[in-house]
Amino acid sequence: MTNRQLISTDEQELISKCLENNKIAQQQMYDLLKGRMFAVCVRYVGDVECAKDVFHDGFITLFSKLNTYKGDGSFEGWARRIFVTTSLMHLRKTDVLKRAEQIEDFNSVLQSDVSVVEKMETKELLKLITQMPVGFRTVFNMYAIEGYTHEEIAKELHITPGGSRSQLSRARIWLREKLRNLK
């Protein structure tokens, strides 16, 4: 038996116990995912206190929809999607994305100064991302970190693909200016 099969079997056993409402298994699931999923919430929401609420809601959703996980793809990827969706729902509910600036024909995309980024710790870069204006941060997270296309982002956020491209361009410029100030 390979490590991959062992992990998969253990993971499936943990999921099965969680589906039986086993509190110990649910705590183990929480402990397994909490660090990475909280980071997802903070990256999207930007505010740690709001992210705690979104994180909590994400786990409620995860446990209530656990029976829909069919084993296709990684469990962590499935869980991440729940936390991203929960974060986006929070942003939509608080209407912050409607106030995000859209520039349809914004063509100048500046390249980040790689040397500054290479010297930064991941924690510092993530902190910088959380300081982005909400529209920039949301599209940047979805495109650059989660791998969504502009069409998928547009559909999720109820904006145009051009609006998504604009927010990403402006996020890159914003990030470059902040990186320039760190030199």
Q: Can you give the CATH number for the domain in which 60 is found?
A: 1.10.1740.10
CATH number at residue 116: 1.10.10.10
Residues 74 and 105 in one domain: no
Mean pLDDT within 23-50: 92
d(CA 53, CA 61): 12
Residues 77 and 108 in one domain: no
Residue 4 has pLDDT above 60, yes or no: no
Residues 7 and 85 in one domain: yes
- pLDDT, residue 91, reads 86
Residues 108 and 38 in one domain: no
- Total structural domains in the chain? 2
The whole domain housing 40 covers 3-94
Mean pLDDT within 53-73: 93
Structure tokens belonging to residue 28: 């183990």
pTM equals 0.68
146: CB partners within 8 A, 6+ apart: 80, 84
